């Protein structure tokens, strides 16, 4: 079944830890995105990719990094987590052929203590 | 630059009331317009879309019409249910140099009381 997956769904970690949030999609979409969102609030684009080996920073400055080595995989990494990184992280993908409608994963809720 | 402005929430309605959530946009090109819905604890999902002027998108009793003359895409539903309680996001997607860009409004939270 074509879908977009995020793991973990919930993560509680201590300050200074390195974390990677996973995002995978099975729809063959070329574009993928990471948004940061306080629950139910405005979305802030932090990274996007238009294809393999293409990554760009979004509108909101973020200390995280991303990679796009395979079309279906777009992980986000925080080298040293801080309490200010506590938020919900949403991954999405889209395809130009569908008018750029975005398909979202269920999100990862990160809490840094 | 492109932007999306939607009415502030929260909006609180009784079941079976009429719903309108206003959305206006500014765009330099000919964008596609979307409404997304986010239920508690979930990601966003597409509710409806319209790709050109005068198109009407509709789904699950919700509808919105792409009005180029007023640069609006207001969301309406004739009779809301408790299960419609969620946050609603208006968005536009426009072709810019290098690819498409999607801009989301700030979201409008809807509470529906039984």
pLDDT at A108: 96
> What is the band of A100 on the pLDDT scale with cuts at 50, 70, 90?
confident
How confident is the prediction for chain B on average, in pLDDT? 93
pLDDT at residue A99 tops 80: no
Whether residues B106 and A107 touch (CB distance < 8 A) is answered with: no
pLDDT (average), residues A1-12: 91
pLDDT at B30: 83
pLDDT at B98: 57
The CA distance from B70 to B26, in Å, is: 10
- Range in A48-62, B26-40, B63-77, B96-110 the model is least confident about: B96-110
Burial (CB < 10 A; 0-12, 13-18, 19+), residue A66, is buried
pLDDT at A105: 96
pLDDT (average), residues B35-52: 93
pLDDT at A88: 95
pLDDT at B57: 96
pLDDT (average), residues A42-54: 93
Any chain B CB within 8 A of the CB of A17?
A: no
Of A6, A42, A102, the CB nearest to B106: A42
The CA distance from A25 to A32, in Å, is: 9
Residue A35's Cβ-side half-sphere holds a number of Cα atoms within 13 Å equal to: 23
Q: Residues of chain A with pLDDT > 90: what percent?
A: 81
Whether residues B106 and A96 touch (CB distance < 8 A) is answered with: no
Question: Tell me: the pLDDT tens digits for B68-98?
Answer: 999 999 999 999 999 999 999 999 988 765 5
Whether residues A101 and B34 touch (CB distance < 8 A) is answered with: yes
> From B93, which residue of chain A is nearest by alpha-carbon distance?
A100
pLDDT at A7: 97
- Test mutation, A43, A48, A92, A108, chain B, max B CBs within 10 A: A43
Residue A4's Cβ-side half-sphere holds a number of Cα atoms within 13 Å equal to: 29
In chain B, what residues touch A6 (CB-CB under 8 Å)? 43
Residue with tokens 């997607």: B93
Helix (H, G, I), strand (E, B) or coil at A50: strand
In chain A, what residues touch B107 (CB-CB under 8 Å)? 40-43
CB B41 within 8 A of CB B85: no
pLDDT at residue B65 tops 90: yes
- Test mutation, A9, A100, A101, A106, chain B, max B CBs within 10 A: A100
Any chain A CB within 8 A of the CB of B1?
A: no
pLDDT at residue A95 tops 90: no
pLDDT at B64: 98
pLDDT at residue A98 tops 70: no
In chain B, what residues touch A30 (CB-CB under 8 Å)? none
Tell me the count of A-B CB pairs closer than 8 A. 55
pLDDT at B99: 64
């Amino acid at each position: 079944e074509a879908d977009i997956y995020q793991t973990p769904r919930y993560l509680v970690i201590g300050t200074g830890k390195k974390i990677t949030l996973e995002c995978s999609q099975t729809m063959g979409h070329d574009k993928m995105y990471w948004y940061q969102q306080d629950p139910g609030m405005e979305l802030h684009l932090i990274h996007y990719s238009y294809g393999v080996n293409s990554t760009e920073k979004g509108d909101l400055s973020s200390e995280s990094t991303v990679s796009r080595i395979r079309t279906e995989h777009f992980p986000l990494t925080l080298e040293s987590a801080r309490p200010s990184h506590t938020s919900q992280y949403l991954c999405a993908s889209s395809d130009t052929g569908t008018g750029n409608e975005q398909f979202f994963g269920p999100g990862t809720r990160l809490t840094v203590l | 630059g492109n932007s999306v402005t939607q009415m502030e929430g929260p909006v609180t309605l009784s079941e079976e009331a009429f719903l309108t959530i206003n959305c206006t946009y500014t765009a330099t090109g000919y964008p596609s317009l979307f409404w997304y819905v986010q239920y508690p604890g979930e990601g966003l999902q597409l509710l409806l879309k319209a790709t050109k002027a005068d198109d009407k998108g509709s789904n699950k009793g919700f509808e919105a019409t792409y009005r180029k003359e007023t640069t609006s895409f207001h969301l309406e539903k004739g009779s809301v249910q408790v299960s419609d309680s969620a946050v609603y996001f208006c968005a536009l997607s426009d072709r810019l140099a290098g690819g498409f860009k999607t801009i989301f409004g700030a979201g409008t939270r809807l509470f529906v009381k039984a």
